[in-house]
Structure 1
Amino acid sequence: MKIAIASGKGGTGKTTVAVNLALALGEVQLFDCDVEEPNCNLFLGFELEPVEKVFCLVPEINPDKCTLCKNCSNFCKYNALAALPKKILSFPSLCHGCGGCSLVCPAGAIEENPEPIGIIEKTSSESPFIFFCGTLNIGKAMATPVIRSLQNHIDESRPAIIDSPPGIACPVLAVMESADYCVLVTESTPFGFHGFCLALEAARALKIPMGVVLNREGLGDSRVEDFCRAEGIPVLLRIPNDRTIARLYSEGIPFVREMPEWKKRFENMFLTIKELAFKNMGV
Protein backbone atom coordinates (compact mmCIF):
# COMPACT_ATOMS: atom_id res chain seq x y z
CA MET A 1 0.00 0.00 0.00
CA LYS A 2 1.27 3.45 -0.94
CA ILE A 3 0.40 6.36 1.34
CA ALA A 4 1.04 9.89 0.06
CA ILE A 5 1.59 12.59 2.67
CA ALA A 6 0.52 15.85 1.04
CA SER A 7 -0.47 19.44 1.76
CA GLY A 8 -1.80 22.38 -0.19
CA LYS A 9 1.08 24.57 0.94
CA GLY A 10 4.50 24.21 2.49
CA GLY A 11 5.26 24.37 6.18
CA THR A 12 2.24 22.48 7.50
CA GLY A 13 4.23 19.53 8.89
CA LYS A 14 4.09 17.14 5.95
CA THR A 15 7.65 15.90 6.36
CA THR A 16 7.19 15.67 10.13
CA VAL A 17 4.23 13.34 9.66
CA ALA A 18 5.95 11.24 6.97
CA VAL A 19 9.16 10.73 8.96
CA ASN A 20 7.49 10.05 12.31
CA LEU A 21 4.96 7.67 10.76
CA ALA A 22 7.70 5.71 9.00
CA LEU A 23 9.82 5.50 12.15
CA ALA A 24 6.85 4.45 14.27
CA LEU A 25 6.01 1.59 11.89
CA GLY A 26 9.57 0.51 11.15
CA GLU A 27 8.82 -2.19 8.54
CA VAL A 28 7.97 0.27 5.78
CA GLN A 29 9.65 2.21 3.00
CA LEU A 30 10.03 5.99 3.11
CA PHE A 31 10.33 7.97 -0.12
CA ASP A 32 11.20 11.67 -0.17
CA CYS A 33 9.52 12.86 -3.37
CA ASP A 34 9.89 16.56 -2.54
CA VAL A 35 12.77 16.50 -5.01
CA GLU A 36 13.18 20.27 -5.29
CA GLU A 37 13.98 20.50 -1.59
CA PRO A 38 14.24 17.03 -0.02
CA ASN A 39 14.58 17.28 3.75
CA CYS A 40 13.54 13.94 5.28
CA ASN A 41 17.17 12.98 5.80
CA LEU A 42 17.77 16.08 7.91
CA PHE A 43 15.77 14.21 10.57
CA LEU A 44 17.11 10.74 9.78
CA GLY A 45 20.82 11.38 9.27
CA PHE A 46 21.47 8.36 7.04
CA GLU A 47 24.52 7.87 4.87
CA LEU A 48 23.07 7.66 1.38
CA GLU A 49 24.47 5.96 -1.69
CA PRO A 50 23.61 6.85 -5.31
CA VAL A 51 21.24 4.52 -7.13
CA GLU A 52 20.76 6.16 -10.51
CA LYS A 53 21.03 9.41 -12.40
CA VAL A 54 17.83 10.74 -13.96
CA PHE A 55 17.87 12.10 -17.48
CA CYS A 56 15.44 14.04 -19.64
CA LEU A 57 15.58 13.51 -23.40
CA VAL A 58 16.02 16.94 -24.98
CA PRO A 59 15.55 17.42 -28.75
CA GLU A 60 18.35 18.69 -30.96
CA ILE A 61 17.35 19.77 -34.45
CA ASN A 62 19.59 19.14 -37.44
CA PRO A 63 19.18 22.27 -39.62
CA ASP A 64 20.45 20.41 -42.70
CA LYS A 65 17.54 17.94 -42.50
CA CYS A 66 14.83 20.25 -41.16
CA THR A 67 12.18 21.17 -43.76
CA LEU A 68 10.49 23.78 -41.50
CA CYS A 69 7.21 21.86 -41.67
CA LYS A 70 6.42 23.06 -38.10
CA ASN A 71 5.03 19.67 -37.06
CA CYS A 72 7.28 19.62 -34.00
CA SER A 73 6.40 23.09 -32.73
CA ASN A 74 2.70 22.51 -33.38
CA PHE A 75 2.86 19.26 -31.44
CA CYS A 76 4.70 20.64 -28.38
CA LYS A 77 2.18 21.82 -25.79
CA TYR A 78 4.90 23.22 -23.54
CA ASN A 79 6.33 25.69 -26.09
CA ALA A 80 9.75 24.07 -25.91
CA LEU A 81 9.97 24.44 -29.70
CA ALA A 82 9.18 27.59 -31.67
CA ALA A 83 9.02 27.88 -35.45
CA LEU A 84 10.62 30.93 -37.06
CA PRO A 85 10.59 31.60 -40.80
CA LYS A 86 14.08 30.15 -41.27
CA LYS A 87 14.72 27.92 -38.24
CA ILE A 88 13.23 26.07 -35.28
CA LEU A 89 14.23 27.35 -31.87
CA SER A 90 14.59 24.90 -28.97
CA PHE A 91 14.14 25.79 -25.28
CA PRO A 92 15.46 22.80 -23.28
CA SER A 93 14.32 24.18 -19.92
CA LEU A 94 10.68 23.89 -21.09
CA CYS A 95 11.02 20.38 -22.55
CA HIS A 96 9.20 17.57 -20.72
CA GLY A 97 11.07 14.83 -22.58
CA CYS A 98 7.97 13.17 -24.05
CA GLY A 99 9.67 12.42 -27.38
CA GLY A 100 6.63 13.42 -29.42
CA CYS A 101 8.49 15.95 -31.54
CA SER A 102 10.82 13.32 -32.99
CA LEU A 103 7.86 11.05 -33.78
CA VAL A 104 6.01 13.70 -35.81
CA CYS A 105 9.08 14.90 -37.71
CA PRO A 106 8.77 13.51 -41.27
CA ALA A 107 12.39 14.34 -42.15
CA GLY A 108 14.05 12.65 -39.19
CA ALA A 109 15.71 15.94 -38.29
CA ILE A 110 15.29 15.61 -34.52
CA GLU A 111 17.69 13.69 -32.33
CA GLU A 112 16.98 13.28 -28.60
CA ASN A 113 19.96 13.71 -26.30
CA PRO A 114 19.88 12.73 -22.62
CA GLU A 115 20.39 15.63 -20.25
CA PRO A 116 20.99 14.89 -16.53
CA ILE A 117 18.35 16.52 -14.33
CA GLY A 118 18.56 14.70 -11.01
CA ILE A 119 19.74 11.79 -8.89
CA ILE A 120 18.17 9.00 -6.81
CA GLU A 121 19.85 7.96 -3.55
CA LYS A 122 19.04 5.36 -0.91
CA THR A 123 20.22 4.02 2.40
CA SER A 124 23.06 1.53 2.22
CA SER A 125 22.36 -2.19 1.98
CA GLU A 126 23.46 -2.59 5.62
CA SER A 127 20.75 -0.25 6.87
CA PRO A 128 17.57 -1.94 8.21
CA PHE A 129 15.54 1.16 7.30
CA ILE A 130 14.55 1.55 3.63
CA PHE A 131 14.75 5.19 2.57
CA PHE A 132 14.93 6.62 -0.94
CA CYS A 133 15.50 10.25 -1.79
CA GLY A 134 15.30 12.09 -5.11
CA THR A 135 17.09 15.38 -5.76
CA LEU A 136 16.49 17.67 -8.72
CA ASN A 137 19.67 19.28 -10.05
CA ILE A 138 20.06 22.98 -9.34
CA GLY A 139 18.66 25.10 -12.16
CA LYS A 140 16.45 22.33 -13.58
CA ALA A 141 12.69 22.77 -13.71
CA MET A 142 11.36 19.29 -14.50
CA ALA A 143 10.71 17.65 -11.12
CA THR A 144 8.19 15.08 -12.36
CA PRO A 145 10.68 12.81 -14.23
CA VAL A 146 12.77 12.54 -11.05
CA ILE A 147 9.64 11.64 -9.06
CA ARG A 148 8.66 9.01 -11.64
CA SER A 149 12.12 7.44 -11.44
CA LEU A 150 11.96 7.49 -7.66
CA GLN A 151 8.57 5.75 -7.68
CA ASN A 152 10.03 2.93 -9.81
CA HIS A 153 11.97 1.81 -6.72
CA ILE A 154 8.87 1.21 -4.59
CA ASP A 155 8.63 -2.38 -3.41
CA GLU A 156 4.96 -3.30 -3.83
CA SER A 157 5.24 -6.05 -1.23
CA ARG A 158 5.52 -3.65 1.71
CA PRO A 159 3.88 -0.33 2.70
CA ALA A 160 5.44 2.84 1.31
CA ILE A 161 5.22 6.25 2.96
CA ILE A 162 5.69 8.97 0.34
CA ASP A 163 6.55 12.54 1.32
CA SER A 164 4.96 14.58 -1.45
CA PRO A 165 5.99 18.04 -2.67
CA PRO A 166 3.79 20.85 -1.34
CA GLY A 167 1.05 22.48 -3.42
CA ILE A 168 -1.06 21.00 -6.20
CA ALA A 169 1.17 21.30 -9.28
CA CYS A 170 2.28 18.45 -11.58
CA PRO A 171 4.88 16.97 -9.17
CA VAL A 172 2.21 16.60 -6.47
CA LEU A 173 -0.27 15.02 -8.85
CA ALA A 174 2.40 12.54 -9.96
CA VAL A 175 2.64 11.35 -6.35
CA MET A 176 -1.09 11.44 -5.59
CA GLU A 177 -2.25 9.57 -8.67
CA SER A 178 -0.15 6.51 -7.84
CA ALA A 179 -1.14 6.41 -4.15
CA ASP A 180 -3.72 4.14 -2.52
CA TYR A 181 -4.45 6.69 0.20
CA CYS A 182 -3.65 10.35 0.71
CA VAL A 183 -3.01 11.99 4.09
CA LEU A 184 -3.58 15.74 3.93
CA VAL A 185 -1.62 17.62 6.58
CA THR A 186 -2.93 21.02 7.56
CA GLU A 187 -3.35 23.50 10.37
CA SER A 188 -6.53 25.31 11.30
CA THR A 189 -5.57 28.82 10.23
CA PRO A 190 -7.03 30.84 7.32
CA PHE A 191 -3.96 30.19 5.14
CA GLY A 192 -3.77 26.54 6.21
CA PHE A 193 -7.46 25.98 5.47
CA HIS A 194 -7.13 27.54 2.03
CA GLY A 195 -4.20 25.25 1.15
CA PHE A 196 -6.08 22.26 2.54
CA CYS A 197 -9.09 22.97 0.31
CA LEU A 198 -6.84 23.10 -2.77
CA ALA A 199 -5.20 19.76 -1.90
CA LEU A 200 -8.58 18.25 -1.11
CA GLU A 201 -9.91 19.28 -4.52
CA ALA A 202 -6.91 17.65 -6.22
CA ALA A 203 -7.35 14.39 -4.28
CA ARG A 204 -11.05 14.32 -5.10
CA ALA A 205 -10.38 14.94 -8.79
CA LEU A 206 -8.05 11.92 -8.77
CA LYS A 207 -10.63 9.90 -6.77
CA ILE A 208 -8.14 9.02 -4.04
CA PRO A 209 -9.47 8.26 -0.54
CA MET A 210 -8.08 10.71 1.97
CA GLY A 211 -7.94 11.68 5.62
CA VAL A 212 -6.56 14.63 7.55
CA VAL A 213 -3.80 15.15 10.07
CA LEU A 214 -4.43 18.33 12.02
CA ASN A 215 -1.05 19.73 12.99
CA ARG A 216 -0.44 22.38 15.65
CA GLU A 217 -3.88 21.77 17.12
CA GLY A 218 -4.81 24.65 19.41
CA LEU A 219 -3.36 27.20 17.03
CA GLY A 220 -6.08 29.00 15.10
CA ASP A 221 -9.72 27.95 15.19
CA SER A 222 -11.98 24.98 14.46
CA ARG A 223 -12.65 25.66 10.77
CA VAL A 224 -10.81 22.56 9.48
CA GLU A 225 -12.50 20.17 11.91
CA ASP A 226 -15.91 21.74 11.28
CA PHE A 227 -15.38 21.36 7.53
CA CYS A 228 -14.21 17.74 7.83
CA ARG A 229 -17.17 16.84 10.03
CA ALA A 230 -19.59 18.36 7.53
CA GLU A 231 -17.91 16.64 4.56
CA GLY A 232 -17.41 13.26 6.25
CA ILE A 233 -13.61 13.43 6.01
CA PRO A 234 -11.85 11.49 8.79
CA VAL A 235 -9.41 13.34 11.06
CA LEU A 236 -6.74 10.66 11.45
CA LEU A 237 -4.50 12.36 13.98
CA ARG A 238 -4.21 15.58 15.96
CA ILE A 239 -0.73 16.87 16.77
CA PRO A 240 -0.89 19.63 19.39
CA ASN A 241 0.86 22.98 19.25
CA ASP A 242 3.35 21.59 21.76
CA ARG A 243 6.60 23.28 22.84
CA THR A 244 8.46 19.96 23.24
CA ILE A 245 7.52 18.81 19.72
CA ALA A 246 8.58 22.21 18.34
CA ARG A 247 11.92 22.05 20.17
CA LEU A 248 12.66 18.54 18.91
CA TYR A 249 11.77 19.60 15.37
CA SER A 250 14.13 22.59 15.57
CA GLU A 251 16.90 20.21 16.67
CA GLY A 252 16.18 17.80 13.80
CA ILE A 253 14.89 15.04 16.09
CA PRO A 254 11.74 13.05 15.11
CA PHE A 255 9.52 13.30 18.16
CA VAL A 256 8.55 9.60 18.17
CA ARG A 257 12.12 8.89 19.27
CA GLU A 258 11.82 11.06 22.37
CA MET A 259 8.09 10.75 23.06
CA PRO A 260 7.31 7.00 22.87
CA GLU A 261 3.58 7.47 23.48
CA TRP A 262 3.35 8.85 19.94
CA LYS A 263 4.53 5.58 18.43
CA LYS A 264 1.23 3.92 19.32
CA ARG A 265 -0.75 6.89 17.98
CA PHE A 266 0.95 6.69 14.61
CA GLU A 267 0.49 2.91 14.56
CA ASN A 268 -3.23 3.38 15.20
CA MET A 269 -3.38 5.97 12.44
CA PHE A 270 -1.82 3.47 10.03
CA LEU A 271 -4.36 0.79 10.99
CA THR A 272 -7.17 3.29 10.33
CA ILE A 273 -5.67 4.16 6.95
CA LYS A 274 -5.43 0.48 5.98
CA GLU A 275 -9.06 -0.08 6.94
CA LEU A 276 -10.26 2.95 4.98
CA ALA A 277 -8.11 2.17 1.94
CA PHE A 278 -9.23 -1.48 1.78
CA LYS A 279 -12.83 -0.39 2.24
CA ASN A 280 -12.45 1.95 -0.73
CA MET A 281 -11.00 -0.93 -2.79
CA GLY A 282 -13.96 -3.09 -1.83
CA VAL A 283 -11.74 -5.60 0.00
Structure 2
Amino acid sequence: MRIGENERPVGIQLYGHNIDAMAESAKIATEAKPDLIDINYGCPVKKIANRGAGAGMLRDIPKMIKMTEEIVKATNLPVTVKTRLGWDSDNLVIEDLAERLQDTGIKALTIHGRTRAQMYRGNADWELIGKVKNNPRIHIPIIGNGDIDSPQKAKEAFDKYGVDGVMIGRATYGRPFIFKEIRHFLDYGGEMPPLSLKEKVDLAKLHFNKSVEYKGCPRGVYEMRRHLISYFKGIPHFKEMRMKLVTTIEPEKVLELIDEIYKQFG
Protein backbone atom coordinates (compact mmCIF):
# COMPACT_ATOMS: atom_id res chain seq x y z
CA MET A 1 0.00 0.00 0.00
CA ARG A 2 1.49 3.31 -1.11
CA ILE A 3 0.20 6.51 0.46
CA GLY A 4 1.10 9.84 -1.09
CA GLU A 5 1.62 12.51 1.55
CA ASN A 6 -0.06 15.05 -0.74
CA GLU A 7 -3.23 12.93 -0.71
CA ARG A 8 -3.87 13.03 3.03
CA PRO A 9 -6.16 12.51 4.81
CA VAL A 10 -6.17 8.92 3.53
CA GLY A 11 -8.26 6.00 4.69
CA ILE A 12 -7.80 2.30 4.07
CA GLN A 13 -11.10 0.48 3.57
CA LEU A 14 -11.60 -3.11 4.71
CA TYR A 15 -14.31 -5.64 3.99
CA GLY A 16 -14.77 -9.26 4.93
CA HIS A 17 -16.93 -11.70 6.86
CA ASN A 18 -14.47 -13.18 9.38
CA ILE A 19 -14.18 -11.14 12.56
CA ASP A 20 -10.69 -12.30 13.52
CA ALA A 21 -9.35 -11.80 10.01
CA MET A 22 -10.84 -8.32 9.84
CA ALA A 23 -9.30 -7.33 13.17
CA GLU A 24 -5.93 -8.61 11.99
CA SER A 25 -6.37 -6.75 8.71
CA ALA A 26 -6.95 -3.56 10.67
CA LYS A 27 -3.63 -4.08 12.48
CA ILE A 28 -1.83 -4.63 9.17
CA ALA A 29 -3.51 -1.60 7.60
CA THR A 30 -2.50 0.52 10.59
CA GLU A 31 1.16 -0.21 9.84
CA ALA A 32 0.78 1.60 6.50
CA LYS A 33 0.05 4.77 8.53
CA PRO A 34 -3.20 5.95 6.98
CA ASP A 35 -5.27 8.57 8.74
CA LEU A 36 -8.22 6.27 9.36
CA ILE A 37 -9.62 2.78 8.84
CA ASP A 38 -12.98 2.50 7.09
CA ILE A 39 -15.17 -0.62 7.20
CA ASN A 40 -17.26 -1.39 4.13
CA TYR A 41 -20.67 -2.75 5.11
CA GLY A 42 -22.23 -1.33 1.96
CA CYS A 43 -20.86 -3.10 -1.12
CA PRO A 44 -23.86 -4.74 -2.86
CA VAL A 45 -21.90 -6.88 -5.35
CA LYS A 46 -23.34 -10.41 -5.34
CA LYS A 47 -20.08 -12.34 -4.88
CA ILE A 48 -19.23 -10.20 -1.85
CA ALA A 49 -22.64 -9.76 -0.21
CA ASN A 50 -23.60 -13.41 -0.60
CA ARG A 51 -20.48 -14.39 1.37
CA GLY A 52 -21.67 -12.22 4.24
CA ALA A 53 -19.23 -9.37 3.56
CA GLY A 54 -19.99 -5.83 2.46
CA ALA A 55 -23.74 -5.23 2.48
CA GLY A 56 -24.16 -8.90 3.36
CA MET A 57 -23.46 -7.88 6.95
CA LEU A 58 -26.86 -6.16 6.98
CA ARG A 59 -28.38 -9.63 7.39
CA ASP A 60 -26.44 -10.21 10.62
CA ILE A 61 -26.44 -7.00 12.64
CA PRO A 62 -25.09 -8.58 15.87
CA LYS A 63 -22.08 -9.87 13.92
CA MET A 64 -21.61 -6.45 12.30
CA ILE A 65 -21.55 -4.81 15.72
CA LYS A 66 -19.12 -7.37 17.14
CA MET A 67 -16.82 -7.03 14.13
CA THR A 68 -16.83 -3.25 14.44
CA GLU A 69 -16.00 -3.44 18.15
CA GLU A 70 -13.05 -5.74 17.46
CA ILE A 71 -11.69 -3.52 14.69
CA VAL A 72 -11.97 -0.43 16.90
CA LYS A 73 -9.97 -2.28 19.58
CA ALA A 74 -7.39 -3.49 17.05
CA THR A 75 -6.18 -0.05 15.96
CA ASN A 76 -5.30 3.29 17.48
CA LEU A 77 -6.59 5.03 14.36
CA PRO A 78 -10.08 6.48 13.96
CA VAL A 79 -12.47 3.89 12.55
CA THR A 80 -15.36 4.84 10.27
CA VAL A 81 -18.12 2.78 8.67
CA LYS A 82 -19.97 2.89 5.37
CA THR A 83 -23.25 1.03 5.05
CA ARG A 84 -26.71 1.12 3.47
CA LEU A 85 -30.27 1.63 4.70
CA GLY A 86 -30.82 -2.09 5.16
CA TRP A 87 -30.90 -5.35 3.23
CA ASP A 88 -34.23 -4.59 1.55
CA SER A 89 -37.29 -2.36 1.89
CA ASP A 90 -38.75 -4.65 4.57
CA ASN A 91 -35.61 -4.31 6.67
CA LEU A 92 -34.73 -0.62 6.88
CA VAL A 93 -32.51 -0.84 9.93
CA ILE A 94 -30.34 2.24 9.56
CA GLU A 95 -31.89 4.41 12.29
CA ASP A 96 -31.29 1.89 15.06
CA LEU A 97 -28.10 0.59 13.43
CA ALA A 98 -26.53 4.06 13.40
CA GLU A 99 -26.89 4.32 17.17
CA ARG A 100 -25.47 0.85 17.73
CA LEU A 101 -22.50 1.52 15.47
CA GLN A 102 -21.88 4.82 17.24
CA ASP A 103 -21.76 2.94 20.54
CA THR A 104 -18.88 0.77 19.23
CA GLY A 105 -16.64 3.82 19.13
CA ILE A 106 -16.57 4.64 15.43
CA LYS A 107 -15.81 8.26 14.59
CA ALA A 108 -18.08 8.78 11.56
CA LEU A 109 -20.76 6.97 9.58
CA THR A 110 -21.37 7.12 5.84
CA ILE A 111 -24.84 6.08 4.66
CA HIS A 112 -25.67 5.14 1.10
CA GLY A 113 -29.34 5.93 0.62
CA ARG A 114 -30.36 2.62 -0.91
CA THR A 115 -30.86 -0.93 0.31
CA ARG A 116 -28.67 -3.79 -0.83
CA ALA A 117 -31.63 -5.15 -2.83
CA GLN A 118 -31.79 -1.91 -4.82
CA MET A 119 -28.12 -2.10 -5.78
CA TYR A 120 -27.91 1.26 -7.63
CA ARG A 121 -31.47 1.26 -9.00
CA GLY A 122 -34.03 3.90 -8.15
CA ASN A 123 -33.30 7.06 -6.23
CA ALA A 124 -31.31 7.32 -3.03
CA ASP A 125 -33.52 8.00 0.02
CA TRP A 126 -32.06 11.14 1.49
CA GLU A 127 -35.03 11.60 3.81
CA LEU A 128 -33.90 8.57 5.79
CA ILE A 129 -30.30 9.77 5.81
CA GLY A 130 -31.61 13.07 7.17
CA LYS A 131 -33.53 11.29 9.93
CA VAL A 132 -30.33 9.65 11.12
CA LYS A 133 -28.44 12.92 11.06
CA ASN A 134 -31.16 14.76 12.97
CA ASN A 135 -31.53 12.08 15.65
CA PRO A 136 -30.57 13.95 18.86
CA ARG A 137 -28.79 10.84 20.11
CA ILE A 138 -26.39 10.85 17.18
CA HIS A 139 -23.23 12.88 17.81
CA ILE A 140 -20.77 11.44 15.26
CA PRO A 141 -20.52 13.00 11.79
CA ILE A 142 -22.99 11.58 9.26
CA ILE A 143 -21.85 11.53 5.63
CA GLY A 144 -24.47 11.08 2.93
CA ASN A 145 -23.92 9.11 -0.24
CA GLY A 146 -26.01 8.40 -3.31
CA ASP A 147 -26.85 10.34 -6.49
CA ILE A 148 -24.60 13.32 -5.72
CA ASP A 149 -23.65 14.15 -9.30
CA SER A 150 -23.81 17.96 -9.29
CA PRO A 151 -22.89 20.91 -7.08
CA GLN A 152 -26.58 21.66 -6.63
CA LYS A 153 -27.31 18.22 -5.21
CA ALA A 154 -24.36 18.49 -2.85
CA LYS A 155 -25.65 21.81 -1.55
CA GLU A 156 -29.11 20.34 -1.07
CA ALA A 157 -27.62 17.51 0.97
CA PHE A 158 -26.07 20.01 3.35
CA ASP A 159 -28.93 22.51 3.45
CA LYS A 160 -31.97 20.23 3.46
CA TYR A 161 -30.71 17.12 5.21
CA GLY A 162 -28.01 18.60 7.43
CA VAL A 163 -25.32 16.03 6.72
CA ASP A 164 -21.76 16.74 7.77
CA GLY A 165 -20.32 15.68 4.45
CA VAL A 166 -21.10 13.99 1.16
CA MET A 167 -19.35 11.03 -0.43
CA ILE A 168 -19.19 10.81 -4.21
CA GLY A 169 -18.58 7.61 -6.15
CA ARG A 170 -19.84 6.96 -9.67
CA ALA A 171 -20.10 10.66 -10.53
CA THR A 172 -16.29 10.89 -10.40
CA TYR A 173 -15.88 8.66 -13.48
CA GLY A 174 -14.26 10.89 -16.05
CA ARG A 175 -14.97 13.86 -13.81
CA PRO A 176 -12.33 14.08 -11.11
CA PHE A 177 -12.89 17.83 -11.09
CA ILE A 178 -16.40 17.40 -9.60
CA PHE A 179 -14.96 18.05 -6.13
CA LYS A 180 -13.57 21.39 -7.30
CA GLU A 181 -16.92 22.21 -8.92
CA ILE A 182 -18.77 21.51 -5.69
CA ARG A 183 -16.30 23.45 -3.56
CA HIS A 184 -16.61 26.45 -5.89
CA PHE A 185 -20.41 26.30 -5.82
CA LEU A 186 -20.55 26.08 -2.03
CA ASP A 187 -18.07 28.93 -1.60
CA TYR A 188 -19.30 31.32 -4.29
CA GLY A 189 -22.81 30.21 -5.24
CA GLY A 190 -22.10 29.89 -8.95
CA GLU A 191 -20.96 27.23 -11.34
CA MET A 192 -17.46 27.03 -12.75
CA PRO A 193 -17.07 27.43 -16.51
CA PRO A 194 -17.19 23.99 -18.16
CA LEU A 195 -13.89 22.50 -19.27
CA SER A 196 -13.05 22.83 -22.94
CA LEU A 197 -12.39 19.70 -24.98
CA LYS A 198 -8.68 20.55 -24.97
CA GLU A 199 -8.68 20.75 -21.16
CA LYS A 200 -10.50 17.42 -20.94
CA VAL A 201 -8.01 15.81 -23.32
CA ASP A 202 -5.06 17.08 -21.29
CA LEU A 203 -6.64 15.96 -18.02
CA ALA A 204 -7.58 12.55 -19.41
CA LYS A 205 -3.97 12.00 -20.55
CA LEU A 206 -2.61 12.98 -17.13
CA HIS A 207 -5.16 10.70 -15.43
CA PHE A 208 -4.34 7.82 -17.78
CA ASN A 209 -0.58 8.18 -17.28
CA LYS A 210 -0.98 8.21 -13.51
CA SER A 211 -3.17 5.11 -13.64
CA VAL A 212 -0.64 3.16 -15.70
CA GLU A 213 2.26 4.44 -13.60
CA TYR A 214 0.59 3.39 -10.35
CA LYS A 215 -1.18 0.17 -11.38
CA GLY A 216 0.87 -1.01 -14.32
CA CYS A 217 -0.27 -2.45 -17.63
CA PRO A 218 -2.79 -3.84 -18.41
CA ARG A 219 -4.61 -3.16 -15.11
CA GLY A 220 -4.05 0.59 -15.26
CA VAL A 221 -5.40 0.61 -18.81
CA TYR A 222 -8.46 -1.49 -17.99
CA GLU A 223 -9.41 0.63 -14.99
CA MET A 224 -9.23 3.82 -17.03
CA ARG A 225 -11.70 2.69 -19.68
CA ARG A 226 -14.86 3.73 -17.85
CA HIS A 227 -13.23 7.06 -17.03
CA LEU A 228 -12.21 7.74 -20.61
CA ILE A 229 -15.73 7.02 -21.86
CA SER A 230 -17.12 9.44 -19.30
CA TYR A 231 -14.58 12.19 -20.03
CA PHE A 232 -15.93 12.45 -23.57
CA LYS A 233 -19.56 11.52 -23.02
CA GLY A 234 -21.96 13.53 -25.16
CA ILE A 235 -19.71 14.08 -28.17
CA PRO A 236 -21.75 13.42 -31.33
CA HIS A 237 -20.70 10.57 -33.63
CA PHE A 238 -18.28 9.23 -31.04
CA LYS A 239 -19.23 5.53 -31.28
CA GLU A 240 -16.26 4.40 -33.36
CA MET A 241 -13.77 6.25 -31.17
CA ARG A 242 -15.43 4.91 -28.02
CA MET A 243 -14.99 1.34 -29.24
CA LYS A 244 -11.31 1.98 -29.85
CA LEU A 245 -10.87 3.44 -26.37
CA VAL A 246 -12.35 0.37 -24.68
CA THR A 247 -10.49 -2.22 -26.76
CA THR A 248 -6.98 -0.81 -27.10
CA ILE A 249 -4.44 -2.29 -24.69
CA GLU A 250 -1.13 -0.56 -25.50
CA PRO A 251 -0.76 2.63 -23.40
CA GLU A 252 1.01 4.52 -26.22
CA LYS A 253 -1.85 3.80 -28.60
CA VAL A 254 -4.45 4.87 -26.05
CA LEU A 255 -2.65 8.20 -25.65
CA GLU A 256 -2.62 8.59 -29.43
CA LEU A 257 -6.37 7.98 -29.49
CA ILE A 258 -6.94 10.63 -26.82
CA ASP A 259 -4.95 13.13 -28.89
CA GLU A 260 -6.97 12.11 -31.92
CA ILE A 261 -10.18 13.04 -30.09
CA TYR A 262 -9.15 16.69 -30.07
CA LYS A 263 -8.06 16.57 -33.70
CA GLN A 264 -11.36 15.04 -34.82
CA PHE A 265 -13.85 16.71 -32.52
CA GLY A 266 -12.11 19.86 -31.31
TM-score (norm 1): 0.33
| Larger helix fraction of residues | 2
| Larger strand fraction of residues | 1
